[in-house]
Structure 1
Amino acid sequence: MSNRTTTQGFFDANTWTVSYVVWDHATRRAAVIDPVLDYDFKSGRTSTVSVDRLLAYVRELGLQVEWILETHAHADHLSGARHVQAQVGGLIAIGENIRTVQATFRTLYNLERSFLPDGSQFDHLFKDGEVFRIGETQATAMLVPGHTPADMAYLIDGAVFVGDTLFMPDVGSARADFPGGDARQLYASMRKLLDLPPETTVYVCHDYPPPSREPRWQTTVAEQRAHNVHMHDGISEEAFVAMRTQRDATLDVPTLILPSIQVNIRGGQLPPADDNGVAYLRIPLNALPVHRQPEPGPRD
């Protein structure tokens, strides 16, 4: 545990997502990472139960939120970034390659003409290696593409928040078959993370635990290098790409991919309401490839 910052994780059991609050002791300034907006697929209703737990923690400790950091445009949950910002402030930020993701999905959804794939829906777009601060604590944004072109990790005070690039060691790695995904890029990104000092704490964005354990979201670079089932030391790029390609071909499309991405490329903003005052999500029919999932397993 660092003497400079504290990290608190919040596990959302409905989407297997972990959101974080990281705060600087000297200034009580904070960053929120990957907040979740609840979405009921059957009723089409959103709610804020998950993100309100996080906000209660922020308010209880009297923290001032400076940053709301997204690791990427998630395909498994709607972002709660706008709700966090409306309640406690903060700049919503993501990697600058979000523009590529926006352009791809603007076409898929045939979004309104006013939606521009220029990243302007976010308050800040990070460049690879960009240094920023949470209070007096220095942080670094790291580009880690492969799962998507825009994936970022955030190195903060001896810990790295890796998004979907790495999972817990017994779960492995993210899929690389989304639009713009690339297994070779993913391998390089994981090596970039695993080249950090062995004692670096690794915080993952999801956990899909086997039946033998409860959800966990904290590990270390050393543990990943020794035990990650997809990416331990000694795994070659060719072996990883072959495994990832074969595995991805068996994975089903995530349940919330179509609702979530059109919200998340807007920085968590719901689509503009129609003239009746109701906002609608667009579901393109027969546009995504169909995969099969022969047996239960991690939803990576």
Structure 2
Amino acid sequence: MTALVHADFDPSTGTVSYVVHEGPGSACAIVDPVLDYDPKSGRTSTASADRLVAFVQGQGLHVEWILETHAHADHLTATAYLKGRLGGRTAIGERIATVQGVFKSLFNLEPGFRPDGSQFDRLLADGDELRVGRLVGQVLHVPGHTPADVAYRFGDAVFVGDTLFMPDAGTARCDFPGGNAATLYASIRRLLDLPPATRLFMCHDYPPQGRGPAWETTVAEQRAGNIHVHDGISEDGFVAMRTARDATLGMPTLILPAVQVNIRAGELPPKEANGVAYLKIPVNAL
């Protein structure tokens, strides 16, 4: 079966969320959904997620999986909200436990928070299969941006998470805890060894001036034209470029609120005695 792909772009965070399905009335998977968050007021909202709900319900789809490519630093996930609205099981790469351990310490989270991935319904290893109706997905472990990144391959469609951007935007940063530029290079080359016509779907797009948002490309297009990692770029050259570039980048605007929510599979921290949930901001820790 050929996977049909519905994309939803969130301009506030540059994130693209996807619904993967066979057609009206079929099973589906949702990949990397966004929970809207206003950092000025600390309020969440669900306009982005509700667009996915409307598409799923309008097509008569049945949600089998809500998939995360990793614990994102640039947006909050709507996984928990969508599971409550649409059902389905949640999944992420098994190395999420490593990321949870780092951030449990950074945020000094409550003793009851377990850094073992148990917040998700399934932890995925490299080579695992996911069934979505008649579609069969394969999990590809693609670390480098973080230790836990995975990509999802459904036939000729691959959801690459934070590994590649569009060819004119390059590749993801590697300076988060556990990130490594040489590891990312190996992960990217694994993706670019897939057949040339393979469709690659980006998790984010930060378009250069002069073009609008875009999120679909191919292996052939990336190998020919990615500004950071086209054919002919060596590992040493990539690592030198990526390391120098990362040193100039500021932290993502939403990294502190986002990670706290995303390592909990989209749940907010437990409410305190006054009935309010709080997100922590560690001072002088990053």
Could you say whether these structures have the same fold, taking a TM-score greater than 0.5 normalized by the shorter chain as the test?
Answer: yes
Residue deviations 1:7-59 (CA, integer Å, cap 9, x gap): 00000010000000001238600000000000000000000011101110000
- TM-score calculated relative to the size of structure 2: 0.99
The answer for the alignment partner of 2:230 in structure 1 is 232
In the alignment, the residues of structure 2 paired with residue 207 and residue 38 of structure 1 have an alpha-carbon distance, to the nearest angstrom, of: 17
Q: Check the 8 A contact 2:24/2:60 in 1, yes or no.
A: no
Amino acid at match of 2:19: V
SS of residue in 2 equivalent to 1:251: coil
Unaligned runs of 5+ in 1: 289-300
The answer for the alignment partner of 1:291 in structure 2 is none
The answer for the alignment partner of 1:298 in structure 2 is none
Q: Check the 8 A contact 1:4/1:26 in 2, yes or no.
A: no
Structure 1 residues 96-115: aligned runs within 5 Å: 96-115=94-113
Q: Check the 8 A contact 2:36/2:47 in 1, yes or no.
A: yes
Amino acid at match of 2:27: R
Q: Check the 8 A contact 2:4/2:20 in 1, yes or no.
A: yes
The structural deviation recorded for 1:212 is 1.1
In the alignment, the residues of structure 1 paired with residue 129 and residue 164 of structure 2 have an alpha-carbon distance, to the nearest angstrom, of: 22
In the alignment, the residues of structure 2 paired with residue 26 and residue 62 of structure 1 have an alpha-carbon distance, to the nearest angstrom, of: 6
4+ long deviations beyond 6 Å = none
The answer for the alignment partner of 1:254 in structure 2 is 252
SS of residue in 2 equivalent to 1:38: strand
The answer for the alignment partner of 1:177 in structure 2 is 175
In the alignment, the residues of structure 2 paired with residue 25 and residue 138 of structure 1 have an alpha-carbon distance, to the nearest angstrom, of: 15
In the alignment, the residues of structure 1 paired with residue 173 and residue 24 of structure 2 have an alpha-carbon distance, to the nearest angstrom, of: 39
Unaligned runs of 5+ in 2: none
The answer for the alignment partner of 2:60 in structure 1 is 62
Structure 1 residues 26, 58: closer, same or farther in 2, change over 3 A?
A: closer
In the alignment, the residues of structure 1 paired with residue 275 and residue 58 of structure 2 have an alpha-carbon distance, to the nearest angstrom, of: 35
In the alignment, the residues of structure 2 paired with residue 113 and residue 83 of structure 1 have an alpha-carbon distance, to the nearest angstrom, of: 24
The answer for the alignment partner of 1:10 in structure 2 is 8
Q: Check the 8 A contact 1:72/1:150 in 2, yes or no.
A: yes
1:208 paired with 2:206, answer yes
Amino acid at match of 1:143: H
In the alignment, the residues of structure 1 paired with residue 48 and residue 114 of structure 2 have an alpha-carbon distance, to the nearest angstrom, of: 30
Q: Check the 8 A contact 1:172/1:228 in 2, yes or no.
A: yes
Amino acid at match of 2:87: G
In the alignment, the residues of structure 2 paired with residue 4 and residue 186 of structure 1 have an alpha-carbon distance, to the nearest angstrom, of: 28
In the alignment, the residues of structure 2 paired with residue 102 and residue 24 of structure 1 have an alpha-carbon distance, to the nearest angstrom, of: 34
SS of residue in 2 equivalent to 1:286: coil
Residue deviations 1:133-162 (CA, integer Å, cap 9, x gap): 110111101000000000000001211000
The answer for the alignment partner of 1:30 in structure 2 is 28
Structure 1 residues 1-300: aligned runs within 5 Å: 4-25=2-23, 28-288=26-286
Q: Check the 8 A contact 2:159/2:200 in 1, yes or no.
A: yes
Q: How many residues align?
A: 286
The structural deviation recorded for 1:270 is 0.6
In the alignment, the residues of structure 2 paired with residue 85 and residue 155 of structure 1 have an alpha-carbon distance, to the nearest angstrom, of: 22
In the alignment, the residues of structure 2 paired with residue 27 and residue 127 of structure 1 have an alpha-carbon distance, to the nearest angstrom, of: 29
In the alignment, the residues of structure 2 paired with residue 255 and residue 124 of structure 1 have an alpha-carbon distance, to the nearest angstrom, of: 29
Amino acid at match of 2:179: G
- TM-score calculated relative to the size of structure 1: 0.94
In the alignment, the residues of structure 1 paired with residue 2 and residue 24 of structure 2 have an alpha-carbon distance, to the nearest angstrom, of: 7
Amino acid at match of 2:201: Y
The structural deviation recorded for 1:230 is 0.4
The structural deviation recorded for 1:4 is 3.2
The structural deviation recorded for 1:185 is 0.4
SS of residue in 2 equivalent to 1:210: coil
The structural deviation recorded for 1:223 is 0.1
Q: Percent identity?
A: 63
Q: Check the 8 A contact 1:26/1:135 in 2, yes or no.
A: no
